[in-house]
Each structure stands twice: as C-alpha cells, then as structure tokens.
A and B are shown apart, each in its own frame.
Chain A
Amino acid sequence: DAKTTQPPSMDCAEGRAANLPCNHSTISGNEYVYWYRQIHSQGPQYIIHGLKNNETNEMASLIITEDRKSSTLILPHATLRDTAVYYCIVTSGTYKYIFGTGTRLKVLA
C-alpha cells in the first residue's frame, strides 16, 4: 500500500473550515484514500473515503486531485470536539491499514 505524508500539526479557529492535506504521490490505480480521526485515548473513528471522485458525508468532504497524488479533508465548520489526530490512509482494500503519524488538529476557541 502507498505511503502518505501529512503535516504533523495544524490549528483552526472554531467555526471555520479545517482543511487537512495529505500527499500520496505513489498511489496506484486500485488504491482508495481513507480518513480516520482519533480523539485522545479512543479508537480511530472512520470519517470518509474515496477512489477518484470527491466525496461528502455528514462529517466531512474529501477532495482528491485529478492525478490522485494528493487529497484534502475538509471539516466545514470545525468545533472544539473536532480536536484530534487525523490519519490519511491509502489502501487497496485488502486487509491491513498502514497508518502514519497523522496530523494533530487543534481547534481554537
């Protein structure tokens, strides 16, 4: 599975959109982009995933570039409860996920 690169940390003002980038330049055609988040001392929580088209659900939007080498997770109106570590994972959907160290998002009041 392809490797991902994320900034180690980001801050966002409460009520503003949080845009979390992920680079996956070695992604192959059958690999999906997944996003999870992990709030302190809890298990990772699934957010969203996509293959090549942009996706939106009740939690977030996922924007994947046309060449699929990078993506952005958008939390449209960040709240204090969105403070967490966000993981971008690229997987062919076989069995294991390979997690990096993620982006620590801090939402500021």
Chain B
Amino acid sequence: DTGVSQDPRHKITKRGQNVTFRCDPISEHNRLYWYRQTLGQGPEFLTYFQNEAQLEKSRLLSDRFSAERPKGSFSTLEIQRTEQGDSAMYLCASSTGTSGRLGTDTQYFGPGTRLTVL
C-alpha cells in the first residue's frame, strides 16, 4: 500500500492557461475525493467519485473545473482559463467505500498539488 499519490506536486502557471492534475488513489479504493485548500483555511470539498461515477459536486466547482475518473482508478482535475483566485493546494483523498471496524469509511489524503497562478 503506497498511499495516495498526486502529480505534479507544484504547478506555476499564467492566468488564462489550462492546467491538469492527476491523482492515483490507494489501490482498490472505490471512492475518490477532491478538496481545495487556501492559505490559513482547512480543506474544502470539491467533488467525489464512486468508482467512475461523479456523484457530488460542490458549488465551488465552477464550470471552469472538470474532474474525471474514466476507469475507476486514477482521476484528473482540470482547470480551464485559470484565475489568480484558483491559487491553492488541491488535495485528493480516497477511501474503500465500505464500513470499517467502527462502521464508517475513512479518507486517506495525498500530498497535494500546490497551484500558483501568476
């Protein structure tokens, strides 16, 4: 079990450019989540997948954001026409999607991708 991985770890882009981030969840984890974290704040939920189905999207996820999980394994998060307000840490988490010992499902987070929009 190698944990959740994210690529790239850091991305610097110019306003108006498109960027794409990748998340590889823990193998055999059915659920995958994306969160965004700005400086001094806790992470905020963006969206989540059960296998390849995107089941929930936050209103934070504007139409410039799109997430996919085409085969129920890795996921990508794309931001089109980036704005300076998109600068943040983008976190991915995964979970089994089944209840553990205490009857709930625990999320495990990756290291994040830090995006800076100039």
* Number of A-B contacts defined by CB within 8 Å: 64
Q: Which range holds the interface residue count of chain B?
A: 20 to 34
Q: Do residues B45 and A32 form an inter-chain contact, with CB atoms below 8 A?
A: no
Distance in angstroms between the alpha carbons of A59 and B45 in the assembled complex: 26
Whether B2 is near chain A, meaning CB under 8 Å from some CB there, is: no
Residues of chain B within 8 A of A46, CB atoms compared: 106-109
**In this complex, what residue of A is CB-closest to B58?**
A96
B-contact bits for A97-109, CB 8 A (1 contact / 0 none): 1111110000000
Q: A95-B55, A96-B33 are in contact. Are A50 and B107 (CB under 8 A)?
A: no
Contact code string A48-64 (vs B, CB < 8 Å = 1, else 0): 01110001000000000
Q: Judging by beta carbons under 8 Å apart, are A99 and B31 in contact? A: no
Contact stretch, chosen from A9-17, A18-26, A36-44, A69-77: A36-44
A positions within 8 Å CB-CB of B: 32, 34, 36, 41-46, 49-51, 55, 87, 91-93, 95-102
